[in-house]
Amino acid sequence: MTLLDIISSALTQMGNTNDAQVMHEWRDKLTQIANEGQADLAAALRLRRTDSIDLGDDGLLDIKSDLPYECLKVIRVLQNGREIPFGRGPSTYEIRVNASGTVEVEYRYLPKPMSNETDEPGIPERLHTLLVNYVLGKDITTNDITTQSRSQQFYELYERGKAKAQKEYGEPEFYGIVNKW
């Protein structure tokens, strides 16, 4: 689904039309809500990625500017297939890596916010429809008291889908004990 599909589906379920004027009126608000839902799902699923980064001679990695996505947590740093120790740097957004040159950084991240109508959410494709439920639940909550009870249904659908996704896309459900001695 694209951002346009998410907004159109939400507007249809709200009882609105999808003409250009209505889309223009609702686009910014529903885009913001859809991005909040995407961030919530990404955090719940603990999305990970690995990117290659060139470190300077000082061994500092700026997680805000060196990584292409918003970093929630650095998990590990590898160089030539070997794990490299890292720790706090001189500022909140920097980590000190005991290496120089190219390293692979594995980290938990947030997908980029959607802004264009053709943008697709940065979460697994089968979860895109959950964003429609999130948008509906969040928007209806801000309406008058007579329609607010309807928002609970959409939140329940969203939360059920998120719980199921955490089992399917989350961290491993098994652990291994490794004897390093």
pLDDT at position 14, please? 84
Q: How far is 29 from 83, CA to CA, in rounded Å?
A: 43
Q: What pLDDT band is residue 16 in, cutting at 50, 70 and 90?
A: confident
pLDDT of residue 72: 92
Q: Which residues contact 27 (CB under 8 A, 6 or more apart)?
A: 7
Whether the pTM exceeds 0.85: the reply is no
The answer on pLDDT for 21 being more than 60 is yes
More confident residue, 37 or 141: 37
- pLDDT at 81 > cutoff 70: yes
